[in-house]
Structure 1
Amino acid sequence: MLTIFFVREEGRLDDKKIIARYRLVNTVKSYEDFTFHSHEKYEIYYFHGGTCKYLISDHIYDLQKDDIIIMNGLTLHRAYPEPGIPYERSLIEFSSEWLRPILYNLNVPELLNPFNQLSNTLFRGVDSEILMEIKELIRRIVLIDVNNFYEDENSVESRLREGEISNLVVQLLFKIYEISQQQLVKIAPIESEKNTHVKRMISWMEKNFCNPTSLNCIADSLNLSKYYMSRIFKDVTGLTIMQYLMTCRLNRAKYLLEIHPEKSILEVALQSGFEDASHFSRFFRKQMKITPSDYRNRRAPRTQKTIKK
């Protein structure tokens, strides 16, 4: 398993430019080994093998070997691999802010169009030669040693290595752009009755998570049995309904902390659906291993360091 984390020396969380993994393999023990998550980067996901569903917001995909997904990482997503079966995938997560100026200088800003126009799309049936090229590009990106890039980020060695990585990523985006223009099969989400109900639940929660709610409220709104609703949601997503709801609230809070550093912790808490600042701070610290204020100080732009407590 090869992995790189391309990170600035000072360690600020928002300075990550690219994360890459090639043929990463896990054999999970339970459906809960993977959870819903989000991030700020665009993502290219390559499924090599195993038995796995992939959930992106309220879409549920049954993966097949050599499927490729492109997505906007801000959308909640998670893998749902079958326990006991090796799950193998590769992925590239990259910052559009880092890559966009490079693409403009090359006069090819359109290479990001698939992520903006076809975001959260699964491609199946890609030509075998293109698949080989995509896998080789990911492998080459991962092989570059970036552990010590930023001991001196302006050194010749660091600049050359960053240039080499950006060159390979651009080549990879050319391939993604090529397959996005072809008449490939765009796989529709699975639409069983159970999945349809779960899709309705997720849609409802994403619209209402900022408001006080309960299982009874969701069940009444969707005209479903509370017990049936809870069981099928857990079966499909691996999470309880309230775990998913709290994940939505957590991601909203992270967004507010980063984009609106002028807001107080209480304002962030209430606008994210939490009862009060104390409950929010305890939950945030338990999930993120950091306080909301420290998270904001790390993520907020340097020019916006005047923070309300």
Structure 2
Amino acid sequence: MPIYFYPSGNHLPISIESIGNHWNQDSVQRPQGYPYYHWLQSNHGQGKIQIQDQSFILSEGAGILISPFTPHSYTPMYQKWETSFVTFYGSLASDLLQSYGQNGYLLIENKQHLFHNDWIDTLISADQQNGIDPLRSSSICYLFLLTLLQEKQGILTEQHPLYQQILAPVIKEIETNYDQNLTVKQLAGLVYVSPQYLSRLFNRFLGQSTSQYLLNYRIDRAKEYLVSQKQVPIQQVAFAAGFQDASHFTALFKKRVGITPMKFRQLYH
């Protein structure tokens, strides 16, 4: 049951602090929480999770993501409980997970919506064979979080009639024309609702307002341009992602990601 601690001080959008698999899980008490995000998944057996005044049974195949400094405890239900886990931190992790931070946790109970411990085993195996690569671990953890959030959003939102009738067309418009001068008023008019009502629906289903979703989508597209088109000037990246002013783009990017667009590009080149 190995556990590995990664070198600290890596200025990556997501950095793994520790990782372990096939862990014979003992009882853990953390009244002050843990200083990093903590993903815990149940491989075999069951465990009881206590987070503040709420308790859950973590059955085989289920997992829970606990926010930093959230008081919690967990203990095996029976004689043996095997788990795998990852602790991680970084500005991009905070951005991705901020919509789910109100309760201090994100619980995934449906085995069909969780690809179990494969990614943890794969990453540990790669580290054993080739040595620890912080960038590799960062990208794999990022893909895991994206999958986790996409599955969670799909379970909660995509089947709802309001999501299908109002949000889906607006999201499609954003994804198609994000590089244009879109406004919340225009997006609301597309589905014949008020901007205020549209933002309430975005907050209800996606945990962010319409304008926040549009900004986040543009920032994500800008990241892709920065990495895939390394010779394109920052100003052109800004325009391609739908920002009208390069200075404003740089300020928003740094506020959102924690580093400037140029620094972000340098992480990958």
Give TM-score scaled by structure 2 length: 0.52
After TM superposition, the structure 1 = structure 2 runs for residues 1-309 of structure 1, keeping only pairs within 5 Å, are 11=10, 13=12, 22-23=39-40, 47-48=62-63, 83-84=102-103, 87-88=106-107, 123=112, 134=116, 159=129, 190-196=158-164, 197-300=166-269
How far apart, CA to CA, are the structure 2 residues paired with 1:230 and 1:212? 18
Aligned to 2:84: none
Local SS of the residue matching 1:123: helix
Quote the RMSD (CA, aligned, Å). Answer: 4.9
Number of equivalenced pairs: 185
Aligned equivalents of 1:222 and 1:297: distance in 2? 41
How far has the Cα of 1:234 moved from its partner?
A: 1.1
- 1 CA distance for matches of 2:103 and 2:16? 33
Is the partner of 1:235 in helix, strand or coil? Answer: helix
Q: How far has the Cα of 1:84 moved from its partner?
A: 4.2
| Kept in 2: contact 1:284–1:290 (CA 8 A) | yes
* Cα distance, 1:283 vs structure 2: 0.7
Distance 2:17 2:228 in 1: 21
CA drift at 1:267: 0.4
The runs of 5 or more residues in structure 1 that have no matched partner are: 29-45, 51-75, 91-121, 150-157, 163-168, 170-185, 301-309
Change (3 A) 1:245 1:139: closer
State the distance in 2 between where 1:12 and 1:84 align: 28
Structure 2: 5+ residue stretches without partners: 20-37, 42-48, 53-60, 66-94, 133-139, 141-153
> Aligned AA for 1:192?
H
Displacement after TM superposition at 1:278 (Å): 0.6
TM-score, normalised relative to structure 1:
0.46
User: Judging changes above 3 Å, is the alpha-carbon distance between structure 1 residues 82 and 13 closer, same or farther for their aligned structure 2 residues?
Assistant: closer
Partner of 1:94: none
Equivalent AA in structure 2 for residue 295 of structure 1: F
- C-alpha deviation, 1:89, in angstroms: 5.2
Contact 2:39 2:63 in 1 (8 A): no
Tell me, yes or no, if the aligned pair for 2:13 and 2:257 is still in contact at 8 Å: no
Asked if the contact 1:5–1:16 (Cα under 8 Å) also holds between the matched residues in 2, the reply is no
Cα offsets for 1:262-285 (capped at 9, x unmatched): 111110000000011111111111
In 1, Cα distance between equivalents of 2:13 and 2:106:
29
Residue 174 of structure 2 contacts residue 214 of structure 2 at CA under 8 Å; is this kept in 1? yes
- C-alpha change, 1:218 and 1:250, in structure 2 (3 Å) is same
| Alignment CA distance shift 1:19-1:199 (3 Å) | farther
Aligned partners of 2:50, 2:255: CA distance in 1, in Å?
Answer: 25
List per-residue Cα deviations over 1:97-132 (Å, max 9, x = no partner): xxxxxxxxxxxxxxxxxxxxxxxxx826x9xxxx9x
Change (3 A) 1:278 1:235: same
Q: Residues of 1 paired with 2:203 and 2:172: CA distance?
A: 16
Query: How much has 1:139 moved relative to structure 2?
Result: 7.3
SS of 2:112's partner is strand
Say whether the 8 Å CA contact 2:39–2:64 is kept in structure 1: no
Between 1:247-256 and 1:225-234, the stretch displaced more is: 225-234
Matches of 1:47 and 1:79, distance apart in 2: 21
